[in-house]
Amino acid sequence: MPPSSSPSIASGAVLWSLLLVLGLFQGCSEGSSNDASPGSDSTAAPGPAGEISGQARDAIPPIRVIPSILNWGTTDPETPVDGSVELENISNEPLTIVTVQSSCACTTTRSLDGQTIPPGGKVTLEAQLDPQNSVGRKTTRIKVLVEGYSKLLEFDGTAEVSRPVRIRPQYINTVGEPNDPNSNAVVNQTGTLMVSSLDRQPFRVLSVQGRPPLYGASKEATVGPRVQHLLVYDIEDYRQPDGRYERYVVVETDREDAPLVEVLLRHRNSALDIDRRFKLKSYMLNLGRTPPGGSIEKVHSSREASLTGPIVSATTDEPGITVEIASQEILESEDELATTYRFTVDPDKPEGMYYFPLTIRASNRADIVVPAFISVRSPAGASPVSE
């Protein structure tokens, strides 16, 4: 708090710390109200400060959130999006905000610490969502601590994170045989994926995991542009030579704004080997499309940069594709390291979609292997893969 903060706000900060210790900021809280109405216990007009003997009221602050949910709308992965709500003081006394926090590190809010809302007045709470690489519905709980109140004002922020082409379901969920933890057999081995364009513009599916797509129950190839495509899958098609499954199933389309759309394959034999000393913001690299002989630069970030140190090497064994570290930048305020990798494709590399491992090593000797995928197509070469 700034030196000018009053003693009451300072005591509120202590209360905030106690609430953190009690675990109130872990996950989303169910059943809490963020749209209290006048006359209820949570919005009773506070009396003079001297009447509460320095103790916080056991009530939700009398603040109305307008609208009741912060809706960021639809956004692309890796594209931060801004949003806001109004906080309206519906009591007859000023209310001072101690601080604002979110249940998810993906959400940051503009500081309102120490700001006072007059009776009937409003302040704007601005928040930014960083969806990173995750797709699907993203929900975070935003919590406001107000001086003199022990309960938190809580409301949700939500967004639909999707590329211009969307896949449903968002994940392929498979499990091992329930009675044999050592078995490599799977349940839900086969299924369907609905691939559709959000703007209703027809498109073609060029490949799935670099192989010809299989359509519908008959598995007959259809190459015409459509708004939606129903694909069938068998996860055994994604088993690698070492017996493990590829972590992502990648659909390649002819759309320039969504050349590659990935689906996470959840299975115990698809999980990555994670080094806890090396914390990445995303555990895959969707590189998009480039022609043969072209190159792509991709920014990839890691957390706790002060412990990890700079990246010392990045390598891949995919023939005809090389990778180098183009630049590195430390974001001191977040303790993050943003590394730009440059992927270069050999001019003689055959066109198609390639899924390959990328090995990244940090200066603290931690390393990790993450999947990367790229579409190699000339401008006139976006044709479906055939048998």
For the chain, what are the domain ranges?
A: 7-161, 164-271, 275-387
Beta strand pairing status for 336-345 and 295-303? antiparallel
Residue 368 bridge partners (DSSP): 360
Give residue 253's pLDDT.
96
- CA angle 316-318-320, nearest 5°? 115
d(CA 375, CA 329): 27
Per CATH, the number for 275-387 is 2.60.40.10
| Residues 292 and 197: beta-carbon distance below 8 Å | no
Predicted confidence (pLDDT) at residue 97 exceeds the cutoff of 50: yes
pLDDT confidence of 130, banded at 50, 70, 90? Answer: confident
Predicted confidence (pLDDT) at residue 55 exceeds the cutoff of 80: no
d(CA 252, CA 26): 38
Nearest to 267 by CA among 251, 284, 249: 249
Q: What is the pTM of this model?
A: 0.73
- CA angle 138-106-121, nearest 5°? 90
Give residue 184's pLDDT.
56
Per-residue CA distances from 139 to 158, 178, 197 (Å)? 4, 31, 23
Give residue 54's pLDDT.
52
The pLDDT of 266-295, averaged and rounded, is 91
Give residue 288's pLDDT.
95
Give residue 275's pLDDT.
85
Give residue 1's pLDDT.
38
Give residue 291's pLDDT.
97
Q: Is 325 exposed, middle or buried (0-12, 13-18, 19+ CB in 10 A)?
A: middle
Q: Which fold has domain 164-271?
A: Immunoglobulin-like (2.60.40)
pLDDT confidence of 31, banded at 50, 70, 90? Answer: very low
Give residue 272's pLDDT.
87
pLDDT confidence of 161, banded at 50, 70, 90? Answer: confident
Mean pLDDT of the chain: 82
Instruction: Decide whether 7-161 matches 164-271 in CATH topology.
Output: yes
Q: Which fold has domain 7-161?
A: Immunoglobulin-like (2.60.40)
Predicted confidence (pLDDT) at residue 57 exceeds the cutoff of 80: yes
